[in-house]
């Protein structure tokens, strides 16, 4: 894009004159801040669930809906925001998302009942989901404006550090906030951060080009593929509700999801501007395999975040804050790995390394026991940090290489959606295994499941012939 009636990108708006430093800290800072809000919000709530239940006088089990609400909203909103950015302009959608985050933070911080908190989490999920796909489009536009074939790897690496490696930061941050200021602080935290990101974006990110002519509601619905978005949302909601309800299996819900996805595929094959380009996913197998690898690796990573933390808290007696701090090395290592990998725009080596380290770390889970040293737990999380960093950097570079330029926003959002499906599946796995109680046997069962998933990642990665060439060479 652009096409008639659509906004021009920052690149076209500036008549192709590249700034002296196209990727200065002023340009990247608001993008990185916005991209970090989603993963942090996805995990920061964990330490606040029990205090929320006590504060509002509701059963603890009901507060789990706050986790579900953000996951559902994010899994649907990520590709939707990308599609909207392709139509209306990435800066506009990014700013809209930041405003939603601020509103969600105020609503949640002032909430007096669980329903209002659910509304807050949905607003935060929708708002934070706008950041990553729009950031990818803004970065691509800035690269074209500067006459570059691709953006500097360090910029994409910084985006991945902000959007992936920060996920485990939510646990210790949440523990500190709840301990110091109560559970409302985990919601109010979004407000100053959103204001900072909003001000920085307005000041340092170039405006989208003007819309060449007003668009009617029908034209907007057509170019967004509103029916496709609605069908995708309905199918995803059914699938995610099935996963969240496990170990109780409501097979009819899964059946509804399958039917809805089939109907969605039929619609998208006929849509003039499809939201979910089914033909692309079938023909561009390299892109589809990128989604699959990323989702499977994140399934294992989030099993560590969910399952291992439950195990160390229950079996080893650590507090929520202590278990969160135990995961900090994983965050630090993943960030350390992402930076050099992204700078060199590597794909094959990192995704193979991610698959192998995922298998090694998963095997290490089998050696955990109530008498094992906590140092062994840290060692496992460090290896998973290598896995997460390599997978994030390698698969993002592969996405940028394989996704059509005019669909980069939607394609970037779908990458995050696959990651969310993996994280929700991880939650389902830990829920099934630890359904009655948390034990050493249960954590070993989780280890075997992770080994099976890791073997699938290794097999699909090694069999992928497209990885033999560097993306830059294609």
Among the four given CATH numbers 1.10.10.10, 1.10.3720.10, 1.20.1250.20, 1.10.8.100, the one describing domain 20-209: 1.20.1250.20
Q: What is the fold of 285-474?
A: Growth Hormone; Chain: A; (1.20.1250)
Residue 7: strand pairing partners: 211
Structure tokens at 83: 């599609």
Instruction: Report residues of the chain scoring pLDDT below 50.
Output: 1-18, 470-474
Q: Which residues of 212-227 are buried (b: 16+ CB within 10 A; e: fewer)?
A: eeebeeeeeebbbbbe
- For the CA atoms of 388, 392, 393, 396, what is the dihedral angle to 10 degrees? 170
Same fold yes or no, 20-209 and 285-474: yes
Contact between 424 and 243 under an 8 Å Cβ cutoff? The reply is yes
> In the structure encoding, which two tokens stand for residue 115, read together?
């329903």
- What pTM was computed for the model? 0.79
Which residue in 68, 197, 171 sits closest to 122, CA to CA? 68
Backbone angles phi, psi at 7, to 5 degrees: -70, 150
Kindly list the distances between the CA atom of residue 249 and the CA atoms of 70, 102, 253, 302, 435, in Å, as whole numbers in the listed order.
Answer: 22, 37, 9, 21, 13
Candidates 257, 280, 205; CA nearest to 421 is 257
Mind listing the pLDDT tens digit for each residue in 291-348? 999 999 999 988 887 788 778 878 888 776 677 778 788 878 888 888 888 888 788 8
pLDDT at 112: 93
| DSSP characters over 318-353 | --HHHHHHHTHHHHHHHHHHHHHHHHTT--HHHHHH
In this prediction, residue 108 carries a pLDDT of 95
Structure tokens at 376: 């062994």
In order, the DSSP letters of 130-176 are: THHHHHHHHHHHHHHHTT-SS--HHHHHHHHHHHTGGGGGHHHHHHH
Rounded Cα distance between 268 and 260, Å, is 12
**Which residue is listed with tokens 């951060």?**
193
In 3D space, the residue among 413, 455, 427, 360 whose CA is nearest the CA of residue 163 turns out to be 413
Question: Where exactly are the structural domains of the chain?
Answer: 20-209, 285-474
Closest CA to 308 of 383, 228, 399: 383
The alpha carbon dihedral of 230, 231, 232, 233 has a sign of: positive
**Is the bond preceding residue 247 a cis peptide, omega within 30 degrees?**
yes
pLDDT for 297: 93
């Amino acid at each position: 894009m652009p096409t008639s009636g659509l906004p021009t990108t920052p690149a076209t708006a500036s008549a192709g004159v590249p700034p002296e430093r196209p990727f200065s800290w002023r340009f990247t800072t608001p993008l990185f801040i916005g991209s970090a809000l989603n993963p942090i919000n996805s995990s920061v709530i964990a330490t606040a669930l029990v205090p929320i239940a006590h504060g509002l006088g509701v059963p603890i089990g009901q507060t789990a809906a706050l986790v579900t609400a953000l996951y559902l909203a994010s899994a649907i909103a990520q590709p939707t925001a990308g599609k909207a950015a392709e139509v209306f302009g990435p800066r506009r959608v990014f700013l809209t998302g930041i405003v939603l985050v601020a509103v969600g933070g105020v609503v949640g911080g002032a909430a007096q009942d669980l329903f209002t908190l659910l509304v807050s989490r949905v607003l935060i999920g929708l708002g934070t989901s706008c950041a990553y796909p729009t950031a990818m489009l803004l970065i691509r536009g800035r690269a074209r404006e500067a006459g570059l074939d691709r953006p500097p790897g360090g910029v994409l690496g910084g985006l991945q550090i902000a959007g992936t490696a920060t996920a485990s930061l939510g646990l210790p941050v949440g523990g500190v906030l709840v301990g110091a200021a109560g559970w409302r602080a985990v919601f109010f935290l979004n407000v100053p951060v959103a204001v900072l990101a909003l001000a920085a974006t307005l000041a340092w990110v170039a405006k989208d080009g003007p819309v060449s002519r007003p668009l009617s509601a029908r034209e907007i619905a057509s170019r967004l593929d509103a029916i496709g978005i609605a069908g995708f949302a309905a199918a995803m909601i059914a699938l995610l509700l099935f996963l969240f309800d496990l170990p109780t299996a409501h097979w009819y819900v899964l059946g509804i999801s399958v039917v809805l996805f089939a109907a969605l595929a039929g619609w998208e094959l006929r849509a003039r501007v499809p939201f979910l380009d089914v033909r692309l996913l079938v023909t561009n197998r390299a892109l589809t395999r990128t989604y699959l690898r990323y989702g499977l690796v994140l399934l294992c990573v989030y099993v560590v975040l969910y399952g291992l933390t439950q195990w160390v808290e229950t079996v080893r007696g650590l507090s929520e804050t202590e278990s969160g701090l135990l995961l900090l090395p994983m965050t630090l290592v993943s960030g350390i790995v992402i930076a050099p990998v992204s700078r060199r725009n590597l794909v094959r080596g990192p995704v193979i390394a991610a698959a192998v380290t995922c298998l090694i770390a998963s095997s290490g889970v089998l050696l955990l026991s109530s008498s094992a040293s906590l140092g062994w737990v840290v060692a496992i999380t460090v290896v998973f940090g290598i896995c997460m960093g390599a997978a994030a950097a390698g698969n993002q570079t592969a996405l940028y290489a394989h996704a059509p330029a005019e669909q980069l926003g939607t394609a970037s959002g779908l990458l995050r959606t696959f990651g969310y499906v993996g994280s929700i599946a991880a939650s389902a796995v830990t829920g099934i295994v630890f359904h009655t109680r948390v034990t050493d046997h249960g954590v070993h069962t989780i280890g075997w499941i992770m080994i099976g998933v890791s073997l699938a990642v290794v097999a699909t990665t090694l069999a992928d012939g497209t990885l033999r060439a560097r993306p830059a060479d294609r």
